[in-house]
Amino acid sequence: MSLTVVNGLPAHVLFVHFVIVLVPLSALALVVCAAWPAGARRLGLLLPILALVTLASVPVATHAGEWLEQHVGSGPLVRKHAELGDGLLPWALGLFVISAVVWWTARRSAPAADGAAGASWSPSILVRGAVVAVSLAVAVGAVVDVYRIGDSGAKAAWQDNYSKTATQNGG
């Protein structure tokens, strides 16, 4: 099995589903953890790990998509989809970096291990607000970009490739 073909079929069609699921899931987890530090502490290292897996899935899907682009007609819809797809990596990197910051911040602001009140470090309300705002902006940008890429890919694959009326199965 290569990263371009799985069971004789283009791998891009499989790998893109990981991206479609992981980007919104990472975005949602990031926003929840940025806005709710107790949730970030509860998720712990899972938040940056999820974002790292998301980040890794993007170039895998892009590589398989580049292979597929060379094996299908390169019309304007395919070119547009490929161009949009190339723009997702910075959003995925942003999700990862900010997830790591949110995790680190939540970890540093955890209550003291001896049960004493207070935290070892507490970010100001201004810093927390900025982290939430940046998290929300990157999360929304990443999800919107995934939607735009997916929409263009669906148009490239299905435009004029199906019947607008139901077909009769002889019977």
Structural domains of the chain sorted by starting position, each given as residue range(s) with its CATH number in brackets: 12-110+122-158 (1.20.120)
Please check whether residue 62 is in contact with residue 123, taking contact to mean a CB–CB distance below 8 angstroms.
Answer: no
For the entire predicted model, the pTM comes to: 0.85
Q: What average pLDDT does this structure show over 138-154?
A: 97
Q: Which residues contact 146 (CB under 8 A, 6 or more apart)?
A: 19, 20, 23, 24, 88
pLDDT level of residue 168 (50, 70, 90 thresholds): confident
pLDDT above 60: residue 114: no
Give the sign of the dihedral formed by CA 2, CA 89, CA 128, CA 112: positive
Please state, for a pLDDT cut of 90, what percent of the chain lies above it. Answer: 65
Structure tokens at 68: 């597929």
For residue 113, what pLDDT is reported? 59
Q: What confidence tens digit (pLDDT) does each residue in 63-95 have? A: 999 999 888 877 899 999 999 999 999 999 999
